[in-house]
Amino acid sequence: MIGIIDYGAGNLHSVEKAVIKLDFPTKIIAEPRDFTGIDKIIFPGVGNARKTMEMIRFHGLDDKITEAIKAGIPFLGICLGMQLLMEYSKENDADCLSIFEGAVYPFQKSIKVPHMGWNEVHQKRQHPIFRNIPNKSDFYFVHSFYVKPNDESDAIGITDYGQDFCSVIAKDNVIGVQFHPEKSAEAGLTILENFCGNF
C-alpha cells in the first residue's frame, strides 16, 4: 500500500492518479492513525515551507513521518516534500524535518524564478530510482528554492539552472526529487514505478 500524505494544500490528487495508473494501491494519510498498513510513503508538496510545516505539525504528522523513516519504510518527497526533508529552509525561515543535514536556499536574484518547465537531470551515480531512465532525461520543474545537502554524496541528481543544484537526493530508504514526476510524462511515471515497485 502506497501512503500519500495529505496536509491540506498539496497536489496529492495528481500524484494519487499517477500511482493508481501504475496499478499500485493507495491510501491517503491525513492524520497519525492513517500510517497503519503502509508499505511506502509519498510526500507531495506545493506551497510555502513555513506554512506547510505548521500544517504538518498541527495534524501531528511530523513525528509519524520521522518514525516511519526510522523504521525503514521507503519514503519519497516531491518538490516541497523534498525540501522539507532538510534541517532548515530560508523560505520564511522554517525549521524542517531534519532527515538530511543541510538547508534550502533561494536561487540567485539574477535568475528568473520560479524555475519552471522542462530541464535535464544529470545522474551522479547509479540508484534504483533511476532504473530504465537514461542519463540527462528531462523532467518538469516548478520551484524558487533548492536544497543543498551538507554531504554532497547525498545528491545523486544535479540540474543546471543558472547554477548546478541538487535535483535528486537519496540516503538509505529516503529519496527526494525536486521535479514533479506526476507531470513529467514517461520518465516521471518511471520514477514513480521504480519507487512503488522496485525500491
Identify the active-site residue in 79, 96, 166, 196.
Answer: 79
Angle between helices 12-21 and 185-193 (to 10 degrees): 80
Task: Output Rg (C-alpha) for the chain, integer angstroms.
Answer: 15
Identify the active-site residue in 16, 91, 182, 193.
Answer: 182
Known active-site residue 196: no
Known active-site residue 180: yes
Known active-site residue 79: yes
Q: Partners of 120 in the beta sheet?
A: 138
In order, the DSSP letters of 19-87 are HHHTT--EEEE-SGGGGTT-SEEEE---S-HHHHHHHHHHTTHHHHHHHHHHTT--EEEETHHHHTTSS
Identify the active-site residue in 96, 180, 193, 196.
Answer: 180
C-alpha to C-alpha distance for 199 and 185, rounded to whole angstroms: 20
40 within 8 A of 74, measured Cβ to Cβ? yes
Catalytic residue numbers, as ranges: 79, 180, 182
